[in-house]
Structure 1
Amino acid sequence: MPVIPPPVMALGFAAVQHALAPKEGAGPVRKAAATALAAGSVGLAGAAVARFREARTTVHPLHPEKATTLVTDGPYRRTRNPMYVGMAGALAAHALGEGGLLTWLPVAGFVLAIDELQIQPEERVMEQKFGDAWDDYALRTKRWL
Protein backbone atom coordinates (compact mmCIF):
# COMPACT_ATOMS: atom_id res chain seq x y z
CA MET A 1 0.00 0.00 0.00
CA PRO A 2 1.17 3.53 -0.62
CA VAL A 3 2.33 5.72 2.21
CA ILE A 4 0.85 8.97 0.91
CA PRO A 5 -2.85 9.40 1.73
CA PRO A 6 -4.95 10.04 -1.40
CA PRO A 7 -6.17 13.48 -0.25
CA VAL A 8 -2.52 14.54 0.15
CA MET A 9 -1.78 13.18 -3.32
CA ALA A 10 -4.71 15.20 -4.70
CA LEU A 11 -3.44 18.37 -3.01
CA GLY A 12 -0.01 17.79 -4.54
CA PHE A 13 -1.52 17.47 -8.01
CA ALA A 14 -3.59 20.63 -7.35
CA ALA A 15 -0.38 22.50 -6.50
CA VAL A 16 1.10 21.38 -9.83
CA GLN A 17 -2.07 22.57 -11.57
CA HIS A 18 -1.73 25.97 -9.96
CA ALA A 19 1.89 26.22 -11.11
CA LEU A 20 0.88 25.30 -14.68
CA ALA A 21 -2.09 27.68 -14.84
CA PRO A 22 -2.04 30.73 -17.07
CA LYS A 23 -1.85 34.08 -15.33
CA GLU A 24 -5.22 35.44 -16.49
CA GLY A 25 -8.19 34.70 -14.26
CA ALA A 26 -11.26 32.67 -15.11
CA GLY A 27 -14.33 34.36 -16.50
CA PRO A 28 -17.70 34.18 -14.74
CA VAL A 29 -19.03 31.26 -16.81
CA ARG A 30 -15.92 29.16 -16.22
CA LYS A 31 -15.96 30.06 -12.52
CA ALA A 32 -19.61 29.01 -12.24
CA ALA A 33 -19.00 25.71 -14.04
CA ALA A 34 -15.94 25.01 -11.90
CA THR A 35 -17.88 25.78 -8.73
CA ALA A 36 -20.73 23.46 -9.73
CA LEU A 37 -18.32 20.64 -10.59
CA ALA A 38 -16.43 21.14 -7.34
CA ALA A 39 -19.65 21.10 -5.30
CA GLY A 40 -20.84 17.90 -6.95
CA SER A 41 -17.45 16.27 -6.52
CA VAL A 42 -17.15 17.19 -2.85
CA GLY A 43 -20.75 16.08 -2.33
CA LEU A 44 -20.03 12.69 -3.91
CA ALA A 45 -16.92 12.13 -1.80
CA GLY A 46 -18.72 13.31 1.33
CA ALA A 47 -21.66 10.98 0.70
CA ALA A 48 -19.21 8.10 0.23
CA VAL A 49 -17.47 8.85 3.53
CA ALA A 50 -20.84 9.16 5.28
CA ARG A 51 -21.92 5.78 3.90
CA PHE A 52 -18.73 4.16 5.24
CA ARG A 53 -19.34 5.73 8.64
CA GLU A 54 -22.96 4.48 8.64
CA ALA A 55 -21.64 0.99 7.89
CA ARG A 56 -19.10 1.40 10.71
CA THR A 57 -16.18 0.50 8.48
CA THR A 58 -12.86 2.24 8.03
CA VAL A 59 -12.32 5.16 5.68
CA HIS A 60 -8.55 5.03 6.23
CA PRO A 61 -7.12 4.50 2.73
CA LEU A 62 -3.77 3.19 3.95
CA HIS A 63 -5.37 0.36 5.92
CA PRO A 64 -8.06 -1.31 3.78
CA GLU A 65 -7.46 -4.55 5.67
CA LYS A 66 -9.36 -2.97 8.57
CA ALA A 67 -12.58 -2.88 6.51
CA THR A 68 -15.38 -4.69 8.28
CA THR A 69 -18.14 -4.29 5.70
CA LEU A 70 -18.32 -4.34 1.92
CA VAL A 71 -20.36 -1.23 1.11
CA THR A 72 -22.19 -1.59 -2.21
CA ASP A 73 -25.08 0.85 -1.88
CA GLY A 74 -25.44 4.62 -1.94
CA PRO A 75 -22.76 6.16 -4.17
CA TYR A 76 -21.10 2.74 -4.33
CA ARG A 77 -23.89 1.49 -6.61
CA ARG A 78 -22.45 3.52 -9.50
CA THR A 79 -18.73 3.42 -8.82
CA ARG A 80 -16.47 1.31 -6.62
CA ASN A 81 -14.45 4.42 -5.78
CA PRO A 82 -16.68 7.45 -5.25
CA MET A 83 -14.15 9.08 -2.91
CA TYR A 84 -11.46 8.97 -5.61
CA VAL A 85 -13.94 9.99 -8.32
CA GLY A 86 -14.79 12.96 -6.10
CA MET A 87 -11.12 13.87 -5.74
CA ALA A 88 -10.59 13.58 -9.50
CA GLY A 89 -13.69 15.72 -10.03
CA ALA A 90 -12.36 18.36 -7.65
CA LEU A 91 -9.10 18.41 -9.60
CA ALA A 92 -11.07 18.72 -12.85
CA ALA A 93 -12.99 21.63 -11.31
CA HIS A 94 -9.69 23.24 -10.35
CA ALA A 95 -8.37 22.76 -13.90
CA LEU A 96 -11.54 24.29 -15.31
CA GLY A 97 -11.31 27.24 -12.95
CA GLU A 98 -7.61 27.83 -13.53
CA GLY A 99 -7.90 27.48 -17.31
CA GLY A 100 -5.30 26.41 -19.81
CA LEU A 101 -4.68 23.00 -21.31
CA LEU A 102 -1.72 22.12 -19.12
CA THR A 103 -3.83 22.20 -15.95
CA TRP A 104 -5.59 19.03 -17.18
CA LEU A 105 -2.35 17.02 -17.12
CA PRO A 106 -2.35 16.71 -13.31
CA VAL A 107 -5.94 15.45 -13.44
CA ALA A 108 -4.83 12.62 -15.72
CA GLY A 109 -1.74 12.09 -13.57
CA PHE A 110 -3.84 11.78 -10.42
CA VAL A 111 -6.23 9.29 -12.03
CA LEU A 112 -3.35 7.14 -13.26
CA ALA A 113 -1.44 7.35 -9.97
CA ILE A 114 -4.42 6.68 -7.71
CA ASP A 115 -5.53 3.78 -9.89
CA GLU A 116 -2.12 2.13 -9.90
CA LEU A 117 -0.87 2.98 -6.41
CA GLN A 118 -4.06 2.97 -4.35
CA ILE A 119 -7.07 1.39 -6.00
CA GLN A 120 -5.48 -1.77 -7.35
CA PRO A 121 -3.83 -2.67 -4.00
CA GLU A 122 -7.09 -1.85 -2.17
CA GLU A 123 -9.04 -4.09 -4.51
CA ARG A 124 -6.66 -7.00 -3.94
CA VAL A 125 -7.30 -6.66 -0.20
CA MET A 126 -11.08 -6.46 -0.75
CA GLU A 127 -10.99 -9.59 -2.90
CA GLN A 128 -9.08 -11.49 -0.23
CA LYS A 129 -11.29 -10.21 2.57
CA PHE A 130 -14.74 -10.47 0.98
CA GLY A 131 -14.26 -13.22 -1.64
CA ASP A 132 -17.28 -13.96 -3.82
CA ALA A 133 -19.20 -10.94 -2.54
CA TRP A 134 -16.37 -8.71 -3.81
CA ASP A 135 -16.17 -10.57 -7.11
CA ASP A 136 -19.92 -10.14 -7.70
CA TYR A 137 -19.75 -6.44 -6.80
CA ALA A 138 -16.69 -5.84 -9.01
CA LEU A 139 -18.43 -7.51 -11.95
CA ARG A 140 -21.51 -5.29 -11.75
CA THR A 141 -19.93 -1.98 -10.67
CA LYS A 142 -17.23 -0.12 -12.61
CA ARG A 143 -14.02 0.95 -10.91
CA TRP A 144 -14.44 4.60 -11.94
CA LEU A 145 -17.73 5.46 -13.69
Structure 2
Amino acid sequence: MKLKIPPAIQFLIFAVAMFIITKLTGKNFSFALQNVVVLLLFILGTIIGLFSVLSFKKAHTSIDPMHPSKATKLIISGLYQYTRNPMYLGLVIIQTALFFGFGNYYNIIILFIYGWYLTNYQIKPEEEALKEIFGDVYTQYCEKVRRWV
Protein backbone atom coordinates (compact mmCIF):
# COMPACT_ATOMS: atom_id res chain seq x y z
CA MET A 1 0.00 0.00 0.00
CA LYS A 2 1.35 3.37 -0.97
CA LEU A 3 -0.30 6.08 1.06
CA LYS A 4 1.40 9.38 0.52
CA ILE A 5 -0.16 11.85 2.96
CA PRO A 6 -0.62 11.00 6.66
CA PRO A 7 -4.22 11.41 7.87
CA ALA A 8 -3.24 14.18 10.31
CA ILE A 9 -1.78 16.18 7.42
CA GLN A 10 -4.86 15.43 5.29
CA PHE A 11 -7.02 16.81 8.11
CA LEU A 12 -4.92 19.97 8.33
CA ILE A 13 -5.01 20.54 4.56
CA PHE A 14 -8.81 20.42 4.53
CA ALA A 15 -9.05 22.55 7.69
CA VAL A 16 -6.80 25.19 6.11
CA ALA A 17 -8.92 25.05 2.95
CA MET A 18 -12.00 25.81 5.07
CA PHE A 19 -10.18 28.68 6.75
CA ILE A 20 -9.06 30.18 3.42
CA ILE A 21 -12.54 29.88 1.91
CA THR A 22 -13.99 31.63 4.94
CA LYS A 23 -11.39 34.41 4.74
CA LEU A 24 -12.09 34.89 1.03
CA THR A 25 -15.89 34.75 1.14
CA GLY A 26 -16.69 35.67 4.74
CA LYS A 27 -18.82 34.13 7.43
CA ASN A 28 -22.30 33.72 5.98
CA PHE A 29 -24.26 31.93 8.66
CA SER A 30 -24.64 31.90 12.40
CA PHE A 31 -27.23 30.59 14.80
CA ALA A 32 -28.06 30.50 18.48
CA LEU A 33 -25.80 28.15 20.42
CA GLN A 34 -23.41 27.86 17.46
CA ASN A 35 -20.40 27.87 19.78
CA VAL A 36 -21.98 25.16 21.92
CA VAL A 37 -22.55 22.96 18.86
CA VAL A 38 -18.94 23.51 17.76
CA LEU A 39 -17.61 22.65 21.22
CA LEU A 40 -19.79 19.53 21.56
CA LEU A 41 -18.78 18.25 18.11
CA PHE A 42 -15.12 18.93 18.86
CA ILE A 43 -15.33 17.07 22.18
CA LEU A 44 -17.25 14.16 20.60
CA GLY A 45 -14.75 13.81 17.75
CA THR A 46 -11.82 13.99 20.15
CA ILE A 47 -13.29 11.39 22.52
CA ILE A 48 -14.05 9.01 19.66
CA GLY A 49 -10.51 9.44 18.33
CA LEU A 50 -8.89 8.93 21.73
CA PHE A 51 -10.90 5.83 22.58
CA SER A 52 -10.04 4.40 19.17
CA VAL A 53 -6.33 4.97 19.65
CA LEU A 54 -6.49 3.51 23.16
CA SER A 55 -8.08 0.33 21.75
CA PHE A 56 -5.04 -0.14 19.50
CA LYS A 57 -2.61 0.61 22.33
CA LYS A 58 -4.41 -1.81 24.66
CA ALA A 59 -4.18 -4.56 22.02
CA HIS A 60 -0.48 -3.78 21.40
CA THR A 61 -0.94 -3.42 17.65
CA SER A 62 0.28 -0.82 15.20
CA ILE A 63 -1.61 2.42 14.87
CA ASP A 64 0.47 3.59 11.90
CA PRO A 65 -2.05 4.63 9.22
CA MET A 66 0.68 4.82 6.59
CA HIS A 67 1.60 1.15 7.08
CA PRO A 68 -1.49 -0.89 7.98
CA SER A 69 0.48 -4.03 7.09
CA LYS A 70 2.17 -3.65 10.50
CA ALA A 71 -1.12 -4.52 12.23
CA THR A 72 -0.86 -7.66 14.32
CA LYS A 73 -4.40 -7.75 15.72
CA LEU A 74 -7.81 -6.92 14.32
CA ILE A 75 -9.72 -4.71 16.74
CA ILE A 76 -13.45 -5.49 16.63
CA SER A 77 -14.58 -4.46 20.12
CA GLY A 78 -15.41 -1.12 21.68
CA LEU A 79 -16.20 1.52 19.09
CA TYR A 80 -15.00 -0.87 16.39
CA GLN A 81 -18.15 -2.94 16.82
CA TYR A 82 -20.16 0.04 15.51
CA THR A 83 -17.84 1.51 12.88
CA ARG A 84 -14.74 0.15 11.17
CA ASN A 85 -13.12 3.58 11.19
CA PRO A 86 -13.77 5.43 14.43
CA MET A 87 -10.46 7.31 14.21
CA TYR A 88 -11.46 8.77 10.86
CA LEU A 89 -15.02 9.29 12.06
CA GLY A 90 -13.57 11.38 14.91
CA LEU A 91 -11.63 13.49 12.41
CA VAL A 92 -14.72 14.02 10.25
CA ILE A 93 -16.72 15.07 13.31
CA ILE A 94 -14.01 17.59 14.24
CA GLN A 95 -13.98 18.81 10.63
CA THR A 96 -17.77 19.23 10.95
CA ALA A 97 -17.16 21.32 14.07
CA LEU A 98 -14.89 23.53 11.95
CA PHE A 99 -17.63 23.85 9.33
CA PHE A 100 -20.05 25.16 11.94
CA GLY A 101 -17.37 27.24 13.63
CA PHE A 102 -16.35 29.01 10.43
CA GLY A 103 -20.00 29.54 9.54
CA ASN A 104 -19.48 29.40 5.81
CA TYR A 105 -21.85 27.46 3.55
CA TYR A 106 -19.18 26.86 0.92
CA ASN A 107 -17.23 24.75 3.39
CA ILE A 108 -19.84 22.00 3.20
CA ILE A 109 -18.23 21.17 -0.14
CA ILE A 110 -14.84 20.84 1.55
CA LEU A 111 -16.39 18.64 4.25
CA PHE A 112 -17.87 16.25 1.68
CA ILE A 113 -14.65 16.19 -0.36
CA TYR A 114 -12.76 15.38 2.85
CA GLY A 115 -15.03 12.42 3.59
CA TRP A 116 -14.76 11.23 -0.03
CA TYR A 117 -10.98 11.62 0.00
CA LEU A 118 -10.61 9.72 3.28
CA THR A 119 -12.79 6.91 2.00
CA ASN A 120 -11.08 6.49 -1.35
CA TYR A 121 -7.46 7.33 -0.62
CA GLN A 122 -7.04 6.23 2.99
CA ILE A 123 -9.73 3.80 4.10
CA LYS A 124 -10.09 1.64 0.99
CA PRO A 125 -6.33 1.05 0.66
CA GLU A 126 -6.20 0.20 4.37
CA GLU A 127 -9.07 -2.25 3.91
CA GLU A 128 -7.18 -4.02 1.12
CA ALA A 129 -4.12 -4.37 3.36
CA LEU A 130 -6.22 -5.67 6.24
CA LYS A 131 -7.90 -8.23 3.96
CA GLU A 132 -4.46 -9.55 3.06
CA ILE A 133 -3.44 -9.80 6.71
CA PHE A 134 -6.62 -11.08 8.35
CA GLY A 135 -8.39 -12.78 5.42
CA ASP A 136 -11.87 -14.19 6.05
CA VAL A 137 -12.00 -12.84 9.60
CA TYR A 138 -11.72 -9.30 8.24
CA THR A 139 -14.20 -10.00 5.43
CA GLN A 140 -16.76 -11.27 7.97
CA TYR A 141 -16.13 -8.22 10.14
CA CYS A 142 -16.76 -5.94 7.13
CA GLU A 143 -20.05 -7.72 6.47
CA LYS A 144 -21.21 -7.04 10.04
CA VAL A 145 -19.87 -3.53 10.65
CA ARG A 146 -20.30 -0.52 8.38
CA ARG A 147 -17.37 1.51 7.13
CA TRP A 148 -18.57 4.74 8.74
CA VAL A 149 -21.65 4.35 10.97
Instruction: Give me the whole-angstrom Cα distance separating, in 1, the residues matched to 2:28 and 2:111.
Output: 20
Q: 1:122 aligns with which of 116, 126, 130?
A: 126
Query: How many residue pairs are counted as aligned between the two chains?
Result: 145
**Structure 2: tracts of 5 or more residues without a match:** none
**Structure 1: tracts of 5 or more residues without a match:** none
- Are the aligned partners of 2:61 and 2:73 in contact in 1 as well (CA < 8 Å)? yes
What residue is the counterpart of 1:104 in the other structure? 108
What residue is the counterpart of 1:69 in the other structure? 73
Instruction: Give me the whole-angstrom Cα distance separating, in 2, the residues matched to 1:102 and 1:4.
Output: 24
TM-score by length of 1: 0.95
Q: CA shift at 1:3, angstroms?
A: 1.3
What residue is the counterpart of 2:39 in the other structure? 35
- Are the aligned partners of 2:56 and 2:62 in contact in 1 as well (CA < 8 Å)? yes
Q: CA shift at 1:28, angstroms?
A: 5.8
Compared with structure 1, are the counterparts of its residues 82 and 42 closer, same or farther at alpha carbon in structure 2 (3 Å cutoff)?
same
TM-score by length of 2: 0.93
What residue is the counterpart of 2:91 in the other structure? 87
Instruction: Give me the whole-angstrom Cα distance separating, in 1, the residues matched to 2:132 and 2:43.
Output: 35
Runs of 4+ displaced beyond 3 Å:
23-28
What residue is the counterpart of 1:10 in the other structure? 11
CA-based RMSD: 1.4
Q: CA shift at 1:104, angstroms?
A: 1.4
Q: Any idea what the Cα deviations from partners look like across 1:78-123, whole Å, max 9, x if unmatched?
A: 1000000110110000001111211111111111111111111100
